[in-house]
Amino acid sequence: MKALKERILKDGKCLEGGILKVDSFINHQMDPVLMMEMAKELAERFKEAKIDKIVTIEASGIAPAVMVAYLMRCPLVFAKKKVPSTMEGILKSEVFSFTKSRSYTICMSDTYMSKGDRCLFIDDFLANGNAATGILDMAAQVGAEIVGMGFLIEKAFQRGGELLRGKGIHIESLAIIESLDNCEIKLKE
């Protein structure tokens, strides 16, 4: 997506260890106009997929996901990173965080993801696919189907894209980073 790629080149910053910082328009301060344009593009790419529900993980996935959910006229449910004492029917999965270099538990109530639901997973980044794998695990626990996954930014030099496409999942990414070597952002055309 042209507008996102241009913005990444203009405002994105490379950090050590293959991390792209997009805090000025996605991860801390947000640009709602660009966010809505990105959501429209994702909704368009999945319009034939007969989606019942959008799924994401707090916190950074929520903004794009709620806009996609609004456009596709379906509910959004987000996995939480702390188990609330009031939650019933808890689904859990372990996720290794690439940016924080540690594992954490994600959880969701089975009230909001059920057998037969056709779900679309939306997240800001695809790196090694750990967050996505955690969501696939929780969906499998209740018999829901993750029919597609949409990411704002995919880092092609990490293994998530290959892993998830290898499972036959419909993956869409709005900008693909080929390399961040020498702190230079190289985008796929």
Enumerate residues 4-23 that contact ligand 5GP by CB under 6 A: 19-22
Binding mask of the shown chain, residues 53 to 82, with x at each position contacting ligand 5GP by CB under 6 A: -------x----------------------
Enumerate residues 146-165 that contact ligand 5GP by CB under 6 A: 155, 160
Question: Torsion angle of alpha carbons 65, 70, 76, 78, nearest 10°?
Answer: 30
Shortest distance, position 26 Cβ to ligand 5GP, whole Å? 7
Shortest distance, position 86 Cβ to ligand 5GP, whole Å? 25
Q: Assign 3-class secondary structure to 50-74.
A: CCCEEEEECCCCHHHHHHHHHHHCC
Give whichever of 47 and 179 is closer to ligand 5GP, judged by the CB atom: 179
Is there a cis peptide before residue 139, judged by omega within 30 degrees of 0?
A: no
Extract the tokens encoding 37.
């344009």
Other beta carbons within 10 Å of 39: 24
Give whichever of 24 and 130 is closer to ligand 5GP, judged by the CB atom: 130
Give whichever of 60 and 173 is closer to ligand 5GP, judged by the CB atom: 60
Whether the Cβ atoms of residue 18 and residue 36 lie closer than 8 Å to each other:
no
Site size toward ligand 5GP (CB under 6 A) is 19
Enumerate residues 90-149 that contact ligand 5GP by CB under 6 A: 98-99, 123-131
Q: Which residues make up the interface to ligand 5GP (CB under 6 A)?
A: 19-22, 27, 60, 98-99, 123-131, 155, 160
